[in-house]
Amino acid sequence: MEKYNVVPNVFTYTSIISAYAKGGDVSKAEFFVDEMRKKGVKPNFYTYSSLISAYAKSNVKDSVTKAESILDEMELLYEAGDNSMQPSVVSFSSVLDAYYRSNDRDLVSKMEKLVKRMESLYDEGSARVKPTTAIYNQLLSALVRKGYPDCGEKATEWIKHMVQRDVEPDARSYKSVILAHMKSGGKVGAKRGEDVLQEMETMNSKGFIPDVMCYNAVIRAYARIGDGEKAFQILRRMLESSRTQPNKITFNTVLDAFAKSGQKVAGEKAENLLNKMYSLYEDGAKQLEPDVVSYR
């Protein structure tokens, strides 16, 4: 640009950095940040935000550490008197995203620590960093991903914590809790997952209609412990409702639950269910066509 007598300013550099960030080219984004500094052009809030976003989308070594360091630098500049550098919810969300994409075994504890940091800053008067439902959902998704034995209990605690801080959980929040309980496993996990599912079923006024994945997660939890009757009861609720219809996975998981139940009548119940599945398929529910899993 300079050879054409065009002197790039902070907006020019930031636009270029943002473009590379969106494309996931972190090395080019870093290059232009270094270049602008050499030219005496001071990065602004959007420059740093674009760089954090680039690190969040990158698989480059130390990308999480680098995203953290940029966030820390923004906070230091803000504390030193540069009000334009105050990190926002988006800044923190990008770092949380970097954690989530990493293979760090401690990603949940690190994300929890960062969310707590946001809460502290907000409590101290920084309104721009008030944790939103989306922020807590990032953390809940991480709990599901890692699947710790106590992830169901932890997810439930975070939901309660959100409510205490006047942040309303949404359907995604509750869905994550169901999936976390499913990951926890056992009778307790299955029962508590179903409790959350039933709670969602009563919250129609808020638009909290459980999707098929929510139902399938609870059914799968009961299948794992061989409780075919409970799995079937949930399927029956779906069939009796006009809101969320079962899919092939739903039926196959209940069939698996019957197979694992050890009941004398399990074979008969499985056969009846398979016939029901085929009947619905013939009546037009083409997504329910029995497959090799259904017949195994």
Cα 49–chain centre separation: 21
How confident is the model at residue 5, as a pLDDT? 52
How confident is the model at residue 6, as a pLDDT? 58
How confident is the model at residue 58, as a pLDDT? 84
Question: For the domain with range 1-131, which CATH number is right: 1.25.40.10, 1.10.1040.10, 1.10.287.370, 3.30.70.890?
Answer: 1.25.40.10
Digit-coded pLDDT (tens) for 96-140: 999 998 878 888 999 999 999 999 999 999 999 999 999 999 999
Cα 244–chain centre separation: 21
pTM score, two decimals?
0.86
Cβ(186)–Cβ(227) below 8 Å: no
Positions of CATH 1.25.40.10 in the chain:
1-131
CB neighbour list of residue 125: distance below 8 Å, 6 or more residues apart: none
Cα 180–chain centre separation: 11
How confident is the model at residue 215, as a pLDDT? 94
Residue type, position 66, single letter: K
Low-confidence stretches of the chain (pLDDT < 70) are: 1-6, 204-205
Q: How far is CA 73 from CA 47, 52, 63, 113, in A?
A: 12, 11, 15, 18
Helices 26-38 and 10-22: crossing angle, nearest 10°?
170
Instruction: Tell me the longest C-alpha to C-alpha distance in the chain.
Output: 86
Digit-coded pLDDT (tens) for 150-189: 999 999 999 999 999 999 999 899 999 999 999 998 999 9
Distance CA 141, CA 14 (A): 31
Look-up of token digits 């940091």: 117
